[in-house]
Amino acid sequence: MSPPRSAFAGYRFPADVIVVGVRWYLRYGLSYRDVEELLAERGIEVDHVTVFRWVQRFTPLLADAARYHRRSPGDRWFVDETYVKVNGVWRYVYRAIDQHGQVIDVLLSARRDAAAARRFFTRALRTLKVIPSEVVTDAAPVYPAVLDELLPRRGITSSNTRTTRSKPITVNLSAGSDRCAAYRRIGQHK
């Protein structure tokens, strides 16, 4: 049996150059032409279209590799939903982040109802296997009932589900954000 083929096999530039270029683009929010210029200053002649192709090809691989180095999720969740237009259709985006600002889960739904909230929390709880000690919401009336249904006698009840009228949770959607991958998947919803 032959060893597994590298994801970088067949590319003109070494893996180190590709990873640095993609990392600069993602981390610092540079344009493809800026990355091209920075690499040219270091003696590496590459076209901005090549940098674009690297980013498209290697961003998912780098995100998967970085996932293991993230801190463990916190037990205080901040849940919010917003209305966005995806492919010309208005949809709800449910999202939860922990007290460290780390995205717990994102769900795209056509409706803002108990079924969507239940699906969102079921997936978040199954994925992380972490039971939150507190859930802070934006006063959506379905959250306490759904949480009481999903987590009976597990330490979280409607009494420690806090609703606030504060500003909604904002998530950094810049290209350098590690949270961006979850939002990129939203456009794939049909």
| 121-171 pLDDT tens trace | 999 888 877 788 888 888 788 888 888 888 775 555 444 455 444 444 444
Side chain identity at 98, as an amino acid letter? D
Q: Please report the pLDDT score of residue 177 as a whole number.
A: 46
- Each residue's pLDDT tens digit, 35-94: 999 999 999 999 999 999 999 999 988 887 877 677 778 888 899 889 999 889 999 999
Contact 136, 160 (CB under 8 A): no
Instruction: Indicate whether 3 pLDDT > 70.
Output: no
Look up the CATH architecture of domain 76-188: 2-Layer Sandwich (3.30)
Which phi and psi angles does 87 have, rounded to 5°? 55, 40
Q: Please report the pLDDT score of residue 1 as a whole number.
A: 57
Q: How far apart are CA 150 and CA 154, in angstroms?
A: 9
Where b means 16+ CB within 10 Å and e means fewer, 107-127 reads bbbeeeeeebbbebbeebbee
Q: How far apart are CA 108 and CA 116, in angstroms?
A: 9
Determine which of 11-20, 24-33, 134-143 has the lowest per-residue pLDDT on average: 134-143
Q: Please report the pLDDT score of residue 153 as a whole number.
A: 59
Residue 72, CA distances (Å) to 68, 97, 100 in order: 9, 12, 10
Neighbours of 176 (CB within 10 A): 14
All structural domains of the chain with their residue ranges: 15-67, 76-188
Neighbours of 80 (CB within 10 A): 18
